[in-house]
A and B are shown apart, each in its own frame.
Chain A
Amino acid sequence: MKISGAEILLESLKREGVDTIFGIPGGVVLQIFDALYNFKDIRFILTRHEQGATHAADGYSRAKGKPGVALVTSGPGATNTVTGIANAHMDSIPLIVITGQVVTRMIGNDAFQEADIVGITRPCTKYNFLVKNVDELGQTIKEAFYIAKTGRPGPVLIDLPKDVSGARTEFVYPEKISMRSYNPTYFGNKWQIKQAAQAIARANRPVIYAGGGVVLSEASGELKIFSEFNRIPVALTLMGLGGFPGTHPLFLGMLGMHGTYAANMSVHDSDLVIAIGARFDDRVTGRVSEFAPKAKFIHIDIDPTNIRKNIHVDIPIVGDVRNVLIELNKELKGMEEDRGKWLKEREPWYKQIKAWEDEHPLSYKKSNKVIKPQYVIEKIYELTGGDAIVASDVGQHQMWVAQYFKFNCPRTSITSGGLGTMGFGLPAAIGAQAACPDKLVFNVAGDGSFQMNSQEMATAVTNNLPVKIAVINNGYLGMVRQWQELFFNRHYSGVNLGVSPDYVKLAEAYGATGLRAKSPSEVEGVIKEAIRIKGPVLMDFVVDPEENVFPMVPAGGANAEMIFSEPSKSEKARPTGKKEKKNSILLA
C-alpha cells in the first residue's frame, strides 16, 4: 500500500522510538500535521517559538538519553531553530530537527518562506539532509537517527519539501544500516590502554578530569569504579556534572573558570591528568600554557579531533568512554597486587588536596537581610534532597547551580555548556519534564535569561508540565555586570534590565502560580510551596543585586591564579594562603 511522505515520516519516527515531538506548524508542513492529527503514538507539544522547540527537544534528550525531535515549518520556522541546533551541537546532544521546505521545483527561487536551511545549518549540525524524493525518505530518517545517536552524538537536520511529504510511495523501513564513510571507533587501542594503566600505576599525583562524554556514554558507573579502585580524585566540567556523585569524598568539584580551588590546584599540580570525555575547553583550561604544567596527559575521547586540538596528549585513547573505562578497569584490576604500594605513595597527594579543600572551600557571605543567590540554590538542593532535574540558564545563576547543587546522578544537570545560550533553561526544563513526567524538574534562571524565552510558560501550562521556575532576580545581566565591575571600572554598560515584569503577575497571567521571596526567611517557604503545588510554579527570588560568582579565574588567566572576592580598596595584600585572608587575590 502506498502512503504519503508525511505518514512515512511519522511511521519512521515511531519505529525509532519517538514518543514526543516539539514544534510549530506552518504552510509547508500541513500534510505532516494532518497525518499527526490521527496518529496516536506520538504526542505533539506546541511551543511558542521554534527556538523553544529545539531547546525542549534538547532538554528531553539530555534527561532521557535518546534523541529529541523538533518539527517546524520552512523559512523563519527553520531559521529560528538555528540557535537551538548550534547549542545541541556544541554539547554533543543527539537531536532530530525536521524542517519543512518549499516544493522542490521552487527551491532556489526565493519562494515565500524559503530559506536555505541546509546551507545555514551545515556548520552547526553533525549532518543534514535535503530529501528530494519520497523514496529516499525512510532511508534518510534511519540514517539521521543513526548519525545523531552514534559516535560523538549531535543534531541532524532533515529538510523536507512540501511535495515530498505529499507524494506517495510504498513504505519500507530499513532494518539495518551501514555507511562506508561513517564508522566511529568504539573500542580503545589495547596497547594504549596498557600504557595508560601503567602510567596510572606510576603516578604520584593523579587527577581525573571528566566531562560530558561520561554522561553521554552512560559511563558514570565505570568512572566511579575507576576512581575508587585507584583512589583518584575527580574534577568535573560543567557538562560532566552528575557523571560522578557530587557528594562523593573523591569529588573535587567543578574545575575551570568558576571551579573550586581544590579542583584547579589539583589539576595544576598533578603529574598525571586523565581526561575522560572532555575536550579541554578554554573555560576549563584557562591559559593553556599553564594548564597542568607538570602533568602527563591521558585523553579518552570518541572524537579524534578533540585529541591534541588544544593540548599535547601523551597517551591518547580514541573510543567510547564506557568501553575504554571497562577495559582500563580490567587492566588495572590485573595489577592489583601493587595497588597498596601506589596508594601509599600517594598519601602526601591526598593530604595536599585535603589542605586545598580546607583552605578555600566554596563560600559566600551569608546574610539575614538580603537573599544571597547561593542560599537559594543550597535550599533547593536541601529541600529536594538533591532528587530533581535542574535545568539552568546561562550566567551567574548557572555557575551557582554548578557550585552549590550537588548532582549525584547523570542526566539531572541540564545546562547549556559550550554555546552558553541564555533562554535555554525554561524550554529545556519543559522538555525534561515531558521526558520524565514523574521527576521533579526545576528551571533555575536569571531574570535576564528567563526573559529570553519566557513565552514558553504557556507551553508548560497548556501541556500541564509542572516545572518549577526559580528566577534569581537581581535586575541585571549579572555575569556581564560582574565582569564590568571587576575588569571595566564598574562601568555598568547595557546590563541594567530596568523595567522587568512583575514575575508573580506574569506567572498568574499564564495561568501558573507565582510566588515571591524578598527576604532570606521567606526562601524556604516559597520552595516548599512550589514543590507542594501540582502545576507549573514561578518563584521570584529578589536577591542581592551585586553578588558575584567566586572563585574565578579571569579570562586568559592561569587556573592557579584564582580570585576569591572583589579586591576591596583596603585589602590589596598578597596572598598568604591562610584562611582568614579570604578577601585577597590569591596568586598561587
Chain B
Amino acid sequence: MEHIISVHVENKFGVLSRVSGLFSGRGFNIESISVGTTLDPSTSQITIVTKGEDRIIEQIIKQLNKLIDVIKVVDLTEKDYIVRETALIKIHTSRSEDRGEALRITEIFRAKVIDTTPTTYTIEITGDENKINAIINLLRPLGIKEIVRTGKIAIAREEMKAPVIQEARRVKA
C-alpha cells in the first residue's frame, strides 16, 4: 500500500542524502520525494511517497526516527490529509485548432498557460494525482513535448473543532 510520510528534519547540508541513503541502503522504495524549508528556516519538511507491506513501513518509520537529524516522522496515510502535486506540461500547438483545444482543456481543469511560443504552450496544473493524470491523458493527442512533476506534497487536515465550521465542511464536501 502507498504511504505518504512527512518527515520534519534539521535544515543542514547532507540531511537529504542521509534520508535518501537510508532508503537505498535498506532496499526501501521511494516513489517520490520533495523537500522545502518550513516556517522555521532551521528546519525542513520532506514528503516521501513509498510503498510496502506494513512491516516494511514500520521499519521505514523507525529507521527515519533513528536518524540523528530527524525531528518528527508522521505517516499521513493513517490520518485525514490533503495531497497535492504540481506539473508543468509543454505541448505542441502548431495548428490553431490545437491551440483552441489546449486552452479549453486548461480551462476545464482550472490550469494555467504560463508560457507560450508560436508552436508551444506550457501549462501549469496543481491537484491530486488523478487530476494531473487526467489532464495529461487529454493533452496527449495534441502532442506532449515535456512534462515535469514536483512529486507529492501533503499536509494533515486540521481537526474541526467548532460546530459551525463542521457545517461548512459538509457543504463543501
| Inter-subunit contact A309/B59 (CB<8 Å) | yes
Contact residues of A between 297 and 338, Cβ < 8 Å to B: 303-305, 307-309
With an 8 A cutoff between CB atoms, is A187 at the interface?
no
| Inter-subunit contact B25/A181 (CB<8 Å) | no
With an 8 A cutoff between CB atoms, is B62 at the interface?
yes
Q: Binary interface profile of B, 86-104, with partner A (CB < 8 Å = 1, else 0)? A: 0000000000000000000
Chain B: interface secondary structure?
helix
Using A179-B68, A181-B9, A181-B69 as known contacts, say yes or no to A308 and B21 having CB atoms under 8 A apart: no
| Inter-subunit contact B66/A308 (CB<8 Å) | no
Least CB separation from A127: chain B residue: B68
Question: Which of B17, B65, B68 makes the CB contact (< 8 A) with A304?
Answer: B65
Least CB separation from A156: chain B residue: B68
Least CB separation from B55: chain A residue: A308
| Inter-subunit contact B18/A122 (CB<8 Å) | yes
Please give the distance in Å from B144's CB to the nearest CB on chain A. Answer: 37
Using A123-B25, A181-B70 as known contacts, say yes or no to A304 and B62 having CB atoms under 8 A apart: yes
| Inter-subunit contact A122/B68 (CB<8 Å) | no
With an 8 A cutoff between CB atoms, is A119 at the interface?
yes
Complex CA–CA separation, A130 to B15 (angstroms):
13
Query: In the assembled complex, which residues on chain A have CB atoms less than 8 Å from the CB atom of B10?
Result: 181
Please give the distance in Å from B61's CB to the nearest CB on chain A. Answer: 9
| Inter-subunit contact B21/A305 (CB<8 Å) | no
With an 8 A cutoff between CB atoms, is A112 at the interface?
no
| Inter-subunit contact B58/A308 (CB<8 Å) | yes
| Inter-subunit contact B17/A305 (CB<8 Å) | no
Query: In the assembled complex, which residues on chain A have CB atoms less than 8 Å from the CB atom of B37?
Result: none
Query: In the assembled complex, which residues on chain A have CB atoms less than 8 Å from the CB atom of B9?
Result: 181
Question: Which of B25, B59, B70 makes the CB contact (< 8 A) with A305?
Answer: B59
Contact residues of A between 127 and 170, Cβ < 8 Å to B: 127, 130, 147
With an 8 A cutoff between CB atoms, is A182 at the interface?
yes
| Inter-subunit contact B21/A304 (CB<8 Å) | no
Query: In the assembled complex, which residues on chain B have CB atoms less than 8 Å from the CB atom of A307?
Result: 62
Query: In the assembled complex, which residues on chain A have CB atoms less than 8 Å from the CB atom of B71?
Result: 180-181
A122, A123, A305, A309: which has the most chain B beta carbons within 10 Å? Answer: A305
Complex CA–CA separation, A116 to B71 (angstroms):
26
Complex CA–CA separation, A130 to B66 (angstroms):
20
With an 8 A cutoff between CB atoms, is A126 at the interface?
yes
Q: How large is the interface on A (under 10, 10 to 19, 20 to 34, 35 or more residues)?
A: 10 to 19
With an 8 A cutoff between CB atoms, is B14 at the interface?
yes
Complex CA–CA separation, A119 to B10 (angstroms):
18
Using A118-B14, A122-B18, A123-B25 as known contacts, say yes or no to A305 and B55 having CB atoms under 8 A apart: no
Complex CA–CA separation, A303 to B69 (angstroms):
16
With an 8 A cutoff between CB atoms, is B63 at the interface?
yes
| Inter-subunit contact A304/B69 (CB<8 Å) | no
Contact residues of A between 463 and 500, Cβ < 8 Å to B: none
Q: Binary interface profile of B, 49-75, with partner A (CB < 8 Å = 1, else 0)? A: 000000100110011011011110000
Please give the distance in Å from B103's CB to the nearest CB on chain A. Answer: 47
| Inter-subunit contact B66/A305 (CB<8 Å) | yes
Query: In the assembled complex, which residues on chain B have CB atoms less than 8 Å from the CB atom of A182?
Result: 68
Query: In the assembled complex, which residues on chain A have CB atoms less than 8 Å from the CB atom of B62?
Result: 304-305, 307
Contact residues of A between 169 and 192, Cβ < 8 Å to B: 179-182
Least CB separation from A306: chain B residue: B62
| Inter-subunit contact A305/B63 (CB<8 Å) | yes
Query: In the assembled complex, which residues on chain B have CB atoms less than 8 Å from the CB atom of A127?
Result: 68
Complex CA–CA separation, A307 to B55 (angstroms):
11
B58, B65, B66, B68: which has the most chain A beta carbons within 10 Å? Answer: B68
Q: Binary interface profile of B, 33-59, with partner A (CB < 8 Å = 1, else 0)? A: 000000000000000000000010011
Query: In the assembled complex, which residues on chain A have CB atoms less than 8 Å from the CB atom of B63?
Result: 305
| Inter-subunit contact B66/A303 (CB<8 Å) | yes
Query: In the assembled complex, which residues on chain A have CB atoms less than 8 Å from the CB atom of B14?
Result: 118, 122, 130
Please give the distance in Å from B57's CB to the nearest CB on chain A. Answer: 12
Query: In the assembled complex, which residues on chain B have CB atoms less than 8 Å from the CB atom of A305?
Result: 59, 62-63, 66
Please give the distance in Å from A309's CB to the nearest CB on chain B. Answer: 6
| Inter-subunit contact A181/B68 (CB<8 Å) | yes
| Inter-subunit contact A119/B17 (CB<8 Å) | yes
Complex CA–CA separation, A182 to B66 (angstroms):
8
| Inter-subunit contact A123/B21 (CB<8 Å) | yes
Complex CA–CA separation, A468 to B171 (angstroms):
82
Least CB separation from A318: chain B residue: B62
Complex CA–CA separation, A126 to B65 (angstroms):
13
Query: In the assembled complex, which residues on chain B have CB atoms less than 8 Å from the CB atom of A147?
Result: 68
Complex CA–CA separation, A14 to B60 (angstroms):
38
Please give the distance in Å from A177's CB to the nearest CB on chain B. Answer: 13
Query: In the assembled complex, which residues on chain B have CB atoms less than 8 Å from the CB atom of A180?
Result: 71
Complex CA–CA separation, A122 to B25 (angstroms):
10
Query: In the assembled complex, which residues on chain B have CB atoms less than 8 Å from the CB atom of A126?
Result: 68
Complex CA–CA separation, A127 to B70 (angstroms):
12
Please give the distance in Å from A144's CB to the nearest CB on chain B. Answer: 11
Please give the distance in Å from B37's CB to the nearest CB on chain A. Answer: 16
Contact residues of B between 92 and 135, Cβ < 8 Å to A: none
Complex CA–CA separation, A119 to B69 (angstroms):
16
Query: In the assembled complex, which residues on chain A have CB atoms less than 8 Å from the CB atom of B70?
Result: 181
Q: Binary interface profile of B, 1-23, with partner A (CB < 8 Å = 1, else 0)? A: 00000000110001001100100
Complex CA–CA separation, A309 to B69 (angstroms):
22
| Inter-subunit contact A122/B17 (CB<8 Å) | yes
Least CB separation from A309: chain B residue: B59
Complex CA–CA separation, A309 to B71 (angstroms):
22
| Inter-subunit contact A304/B55 (CB<8 Å) | no
11 A/B residue pairs, CB under 8 Å, sorted by A: A122-B21, A123-B21, A126-B68, A130-B14, A147-B68, A181-B10, A182-B68, A303-B66, A305-B62, A308-B55, A308-B59
9 pairs of A and B residues whose beta carbons are closest in the complex: A305-B62, A181-B71, A127-B68, A123-B25, A304-B62, A182-B68, A305-B63, A305-B66, A181-B69
Given contact pairs A123-B21, A130-B14, A309-B59, a sample of 20 additional A-B residue pairs in the complex whose CB atoms are under 8 Å apart: A118-B14, A122-B14, A122-B18, A122-B21, A123-B25, A126-B68, A127-B68, A147-B68, A180-B71, A181-B9, A181-B68, A181-B69, A181-B70, A303-B66, A304-B62, A305-B62, A305-B63, A305-B66, A308-B58, A308-B59
